[in-house]
Amino acid sequence: MSHAAVPAGAARPVILLRRVVKSYRMGDVEVVALRGVSLTVEPGDFVAIMGASGSGKSTMMNILGCLDVPSKGQFYLDGVDVRTLDEAALSHVRNRKIGFVFQSFNLIPRATARWNVELPMLYMNVSAGERRRRAEAALELVGLADRGRHLPNELSGGQQQRVALARAIVTNPPLVLADEPTGNLDTATSREVMEMFSELNRLGRTVILITHEYDIAAYAKRVVRLRDGLIIDDRREVAVDAPPPQPSAVTAEEHIFSQGVSA
């Protein structure tokens, strides 16, 4: 493991991307999805990454989640040089350092909420009693202490996403990575889930959120916008160590007009 990319005396960032390029071969054509992206995310930050279809945000999400590796450039996750890892080591890093929350919840249908939360700890040699204790504590943190024995189909969409969030944090990873976490939820439930993300960030969790919705991105302390594989805007709304904002409902159209950008 190398820490050469982190300046001496500086706090180690959770994410450090330096001139990251990602390209794919599609037949005889090379498609460049990321074109030299650099990004640093400090511990305790809450970052929303936005972009239209084809902007590169899904590719960035895959790289940040160690589901893919850069073609060129450097990527350090909590001090680990990801490009030096083989597939087994990448799987280990995903389990220990990243808590994933997906749009489709990805819960096991025939397993209880508590068992779904316990699942990541099965790969960490955690004892059964400790798994249960930590899963129940995580469910209590997301307001579902009384739902541990329920199956996913006995829970609302918002409750299922809270179970997914409890599963993401139960291993205490340095990063929670959420990919369109409100995409399958109505407006009121989306607000409840995002307030839960904000509360976790207040408790010190580092959160990176992939979204295309301005009202969801408004919960973040920092908004990064991608276009054609490049970062075109990186705007901090709130300091890293300050509480996350409490946004009012803002439509995409209102955001565009407030920024003076034509539709």
Q: Residue 123's pLDDT is what?
A: 83
Cβ–Cβ under 8 Å, residues 66 and 90: yes
Long-range pairs of 92-97 with CB within 8 A, sequence gap ≥ 24: 93/66, 94/65, 94/66, 94/67, 95/120, 95/123, 95/124, 95/171, 96/124, 96/171, 96/173, 97/173, 97/174, 97/175
Q: Residue 109's pLDDT is what?
A: 96
Q: Residue 5's pLDDT is what?
A: 43
Q: 246: how many CB neighbours lie within 10 A of its CB?
A: 9
DSSP 243: P
Q: The whole model's pTM is what? A: 0.86
pLDDT of 126 over the 60 cut:
yes
Strand partners, 225: 50, 233
Cβ–Cβ under 8 Å, residues 204 and 44: yes
pLDDT, one tens digit per residue, over 66-97 is 999 999 999 999 999 998 999 999 998 999 99
Type of residue found at 107: L
High-pLDDT (> 90) share of the chain, %: 76
Scanning the chain, the segments in alpha helix (DSSP H) are 57-64, 87-97, 113-118, 128-141, 157-169, 187-202, 214-217, 252-259
Cβ–Cβ under 8 Å, residues 123 and 95: yes
Coil vs helix vs strand at 129: helix
pLDDT, one tens digit per residue, over 6-27 is 444 457 899 999 999 999 888 8
Structure tokens at 101: 């929350």
Cβ–Cβ under 8 Å, residues 230 and 55: no
pLDDT, one tens digit per residue, over 232-258 is 999 999 999 999 987 765 444 344 333
Q: Residue 10's pLDDT is what?
A: 55
Q: Residue 262's pLDDT is what?
A: 34
Structure tokens at 83: 């490009």
pLDDT, one tens digit per residue, over 22-72 is 998 888 899 999 999 999 999 999 999 999 988 999 999 999 999 999 999
Q: HEC states along 156-213?
A: CHHHHHHHHHHHHHCCCCCEEEEECCCCCCCHHHHHHHHHHHHHHHHCCCCEEEEECC
Element (H, E) at 47: strand 46-50
Domains of the chain as residue ranges with CATH: 46-66+87-259 (3.40.50.300)
Q: Residue 248's pLDDT is what?
A: 61
